[in-house]
Amino acid sequence: MNSVETKPFRGDRPARTTDTRPRSKVPHGVFILDRSGSMREHWSNAREAWATFVSEQQALKEPFNLTLILFDYEYTVAFAKVSIGAVQPEAIETYGPRGSTALLDTLGRAMNEHPDDTMFVIFTDGLENASKEFNVKQIREMVTERKTKGSEFQFLSQNLDAIDMGRALGTQAQFYSDHDTLFTAGTKKASASTRSFRGHYADSSSKESA
């Protein structure tokens, strides 16, 4: 007699497992913003996206530390690990678009400098053309390893070349047809992902900043 394979019903879903990866005392996010020359035409949208992201994260009660990094051919830390309530949207006003795009070097350095359980939000509109220290294979391997340790990545871009780069790196890639849509829908997506990431930190309101 032939055995009959029993298949699950279409609506069956596997039981949700608890995330047991080690976590820092307070969730930490790194907002990485492209300031290369290709962003010049849309810089006002980028400033609005940043301000909206900060405002939406400040509306949540739980602790959250934020770092802001801007990049073109250079890596600039505007501020590091500041409590979300103290973050000023005006922090971006000192900067403006300029040179070439060293996205790979920026991601590599950012991952090396921040904890294993970090939320990385990357906004870019440039084709990689200036990195010297890291290549796609290295960054993909780093991203893959970091995901197993608690890091999460939200990669948003308007440029098709850049979005292909995001997919190659193993990040969550989102594409929108124009910059107004990118920085409206994209910021909403990034804020939601960050809010979900912060939700992994149970009882974080009773813990001191790390």
- Domains plus CATH for the chain? 28-199 (3.40.50.410)
State phi, psi for 124 to the nearest 5 degrees: -150, 155
Locus of tokens 């939601």: 192
What tens digit of pLDDT does each residue of 129-172 get? 999 999 989 999 999 999 999 999 988 776 666 667 777 788 86
Q: Which two tokens stand for residue 29?
A: 């996010």
Higher pLDDT, 124 or 114: 114
Q: What is the pLDDT of residue 171?
A: 80
Confidence of residue 173 (pLDDT cuts 50, 70, 90): low
**Which three-class secondary structure state does DSSP give residue 194?**
helix
Supply the pTM of this predicted model: 0.82
- Distance between CA 140 and CA 188 in Å, rounded? 25
Half-sphere exposure for 139 (CA within 13 Å, toward CB): 24
- Distance between CA 110 and CA 92 in Å, rounded? 18
Residue 14 has pLDDT above 90, yes or no: no
Confidence of residue 203 (pLDDT cuts 50, 70, 90): low
Task: Report the percent of the chain where pLDDT is more than 70.
Answer: 76
Angle at 7 between CA 2 and CA 9, to 5 degrees: 150
Give the residues across from 153 on adjacent strands: 120
Half-sphere exposure for 121 (CA within 13 Å, toward CB): 24
**Strands (DSSP E) found in the chain:** 28-34, 65-71, 75-83, 118-124, 152-157, 172-175
Q: What is the pLDDT of residue 202?
A: 57
Locus of tokens 């594409």: 175
Q: Which two tokens stand for residue 151?
A: 């890091």
What tens digit of pLDDT does each residue of 91-118 get? 999 999 999 999 999 999 999 999 999 9
